[in-house]
Amino acid sequence: MSKKSNSGAVLAALLAGAATGVILGLLYAPEEGKETRKKIKDKANDLKDKAVDEYGRTSEIVKDKYSEVSHNVKDKYNSLSSTVKETASNVASTVKDSYDKYKDQIVSKTSDVVKDVETELDGLK
């Protein structure tokens, strides 16, 4: 299980345990029902406020992490993209240079063969 899942589970368990403890403590306290209900309501509101605050804090942390990871992924993509483009350009340049080199050699060899054939044909006349 990931740290985030564990943290969320621990937080939920702590909040549930705290709420249960507060409610049981208030129910068994020797006070009037009206006063007990008011305390339960106040504690429930306090717990709700704490949960909302924790949610907001956790939400900000998640947003910050998302932004950081997103930025890192974009940087890596751009870097990789540049590397691929550069490598493709180098390969294309190498292929073109090799083509030009061998083309000149083939033209030269072809000219030599044509001259040899012409010489042989002249000799046959």
How many angstroms separate the CA atoms of 101 and 95, rounded?
A: 10
- 21, part of any domain: no
Containing domain of residue 64, as a range? 32-123
Decide if 39 contacts 3 (C-beta within 8 A). no
Q: Does the reported pTM lie above 0.75?
A: no
Decide if 23 contacts 40 (C-beta within 8 A). yes
Side chain identity at residue 58, one-letter code? T
- 98, part of any domain: yes
How many angstroms separate the CA atoms of 85 and 76, rounded?
A: 14
Q: For residue range 87-108, list pLDDT tens digits in order.
A: 999 999 999 888 888 888 888 8
Mean pLDDT of the chain: 84
Q: How many domains does the chain have?
A: 1
- 58, part of any domain: yes
Q: For residue range 37-69, list pLDDT tens digits in order.
A: 788 889 889 988 988 898 889 999 999 999 999
- 4, part of any domain: no
Q: How many CA atoms lie within 13 A of 68 on its CB side?
A: 6
Residue where the block lists tokens 């429930």? 44
- 23, part of any domain: no
